[in-house]
Amino acid sequence: MFNGLIREIAKVQSYQNNTLSLKAKYRPNLGDSIAVNGACLSVTKLYEGGFEVELSRESRTHIAIENLKDKVHIEPALRYGDRIDGHLMQGHIDFIGTLEKIQKDENGVDFYISLPKEAMKFMAEKGSIAVDGVSLTINEI
């Protein structure tokens, strides 16, 4: 489980043969679950200054692979007793939306995101949603 608060923005070193190599200060253990842009992936290799995760066939069908080019959000899995400041997330990608517009206002920034029609029945005003692993509140539908 994750809570949508990004631990670090990691640098993508490469993505080849379904393996994503990341440069990061965060030091996971081999086999740890880590959210990469919100998707729960397992650490398969550790090296000086970074680590690798493997994307399964299912992960590749639900992740916007084109977003794995430069930098990604990473968040380690929660442990029992950890504070939850965002909302609980499993790290499963249900839908891929399209960012239509970003608009600054007096309270922050509004993101206008279009989703597939079948996703809309799961959306609720003032509900929570994760976008690239970041916990956000739905302001308006």
CATH code for the domain in which residue 61 is found: 2.40.30.20
Check whether residue 72 and residue 15 sit in a common domain.
yes
- In a domain, residue 49? The reply is yes
Question: Residue 110: inside a domain, yes or no?
Answer: yes
Neighbours of 48 (CB within 10 A): 5
Q: Check residue 37 and report its DSSP letter.
A: T
Domain assignment present for residue 14? The answer is yes
One domain for residues 12 and 71? yes
Residues with Cβ within 8 Å of 89's Cβ and at least 6 positions away in sequence, in order, are 1, 2, 3, 4, 35, 38, 130, 133, 135
Tell me, what's the pLDDT at 68?
74
Question: pTM for this one?
Answer: 0.86
Q: Could you tell me if residue 90 is inside a domain?
A: no
- Number of domains into which the chain is organized: 2
Handedness of CA 68, 37, 56, 81 (dihedral sign): positive
In this structure, the answer to whether residues 16 and 61 fall within a common structural domain is: yes
Smallest CA-to-CA distance from 74 within 139, 125, 23, 141 is with 23
* pLDDT given at position 90: 87
Host domain of residue 130: 98-137
- Please check whether residue 82 lies inside any domain of the structure: no
Closest CA to 11 of 29, 1, 32, 26: 26
Q: Does residue 55 lie within any of the structural domains?
A: yes
Distance CA 30, CA 41 (A): 12
Q: CA dihedral defined by 43, 60, 110, 34, rounded to 10 degrees? A: -10
Is residue 1 assigned to a domain? no
Per-residue tens of pLDDT for the chain, all 141 residues: 899 989 999 999 999 999 999 999 999 999 999 999 999 999 999 999 999 999 988 888 777 777 778 999 999 999 999 888 888 888 888 888 999 999 998 888 999 999 999 999 999 999 999 988 899 999 998
Strands (E), 97-138: 98-105, 108-114, 128-131, 134-137
Q: In this predicted structure, what is the pLDDT of residue 62? A: 75
Same domain assignment for residues 108 and 55 = no
